[in-house]
Amino acid sequence: MNFKNQLKEGIITQNPVLVQQLGLCSTMAITTSLFNGIGMGISVLIILTCSNIVISLLRKVIPNQIRIAAFIVVIAAFVTMVDLLLKAFLPDLSNSLGVFIPLIVVNCIILGRAEAFSYKNGVVASAVDGICQGIGYTLVLIAMCVIREFLGAGSFGGGVLNGGAGIQIFPADYGALMMIMPFGGFITLAALFALVQWALKRGDNNKKEEK
């Protein structure tokens, strides 16, 4: 296990959203304010890490034929816990994220890491993988929230800063309203896709030149 490499994979080279292209629906749907992005990102990070640990612990006793069903049961248990905790302690966040919290049960990121990593590796490595992939996912959500909120409403930190109102950088009337609508999610994510692919390709070219 190499924490540095796993962290690099989670954030950059194997980012669950920008490279593996998993969990795109929730990524585009809820990234309209920083509050939503941080809340969803941390929720997925916790569920992903806990699910990875449990699945890794049970990997030798889960029959291969029913592994996907077993993964969903484990993930659903943690999703239910997080959902109830949000409703109890952060009802505003729970209402804002709505159905996307329960839908984490079938989030491709969590199922994908269970199948590709935790079912084949030890507990510590699986826990680190969950944390690193969760951080990568959360950073993408935060980046999208900041871009869409700034361009669409002229503000920053909605739901988090300045008593929840956010910091108004320029009048909302001058914002591009489409950026906080569904189209804004598509265009922002596409731009981030392009940026990351350009950076990865440039890095590969630099390595070839060094050789």
Residue 110 pLDDT: 94
Residue 195 CA from chain centroid, whole number: 18
SS3 label, residue 211? coil
**Does a structural domain hold residue 113?**
yes
Question: Chunked in runs of 10, what are the mean pLDDT values of the chain (211 residues)?
Answer: 87 92 90 93 96 96 94 96 96 92 90 93 95 96 95 90 85 89 93 93 80 65
Residue 45: enclosing H or E segment and its boundaries?
helix 34-58
In a domain, 23, yes or no: yes
Report if residue 190 sits inside a domain: no
Quick check: 125 and 132 in contact, CB under 8 A?
no
pLDDT confidence of residue 164:
79
Q: Total domain count for the chain?
A: 1
Closest CA to 179 of 160, 152, 198: 152
Domain contains 77: yes
Question: Model's pTM, two decimal places?
Answer: 0.93
Is residue 140, in this structure, part of any structural domain at all? yes
Return d(Cα 67, Cα 115) in angstroms, integer: 8
Q: Is 165 a domain residue? A: no
User: Do the Cβ atoms of 158 and 149 come closer than 8 Å?
Assistant: yes
| Cβ–Cβ < 8 Å for 147, 188 | yes
- Report how far residue 153's alpha carbon sits from residue 166's, in angstroms, rounded to the nearest whole number: 10
d(CA 66, CA 20): 24
Given this model, what pLDDT does residue 163 score? Answer: 79
DSSP-assigned letter for residue 114: I
- The answer to whether residue 185 is domain-embedded is no
Residue 99 per-residue DSSP state: G
Q: How far apart are CA 114 and CA 16, in angstroms?
A: 13
What is the rounded distance in angstroms from the CA atom of residue 86 to the CA atom of residue 36? 12
pLDDT at position 211 is 65
Q: Which residues contact 8 (CB under 8 A, 6 or more apart)?
A: none
Residue 17's pLDDT is 94
pLDDT of residue 1: 67
pLDDT at residue number 116: 92
Q: What is the span of the domain harbouring residue 9?
A: 3-146
Residue 160 counted as domain residue = no
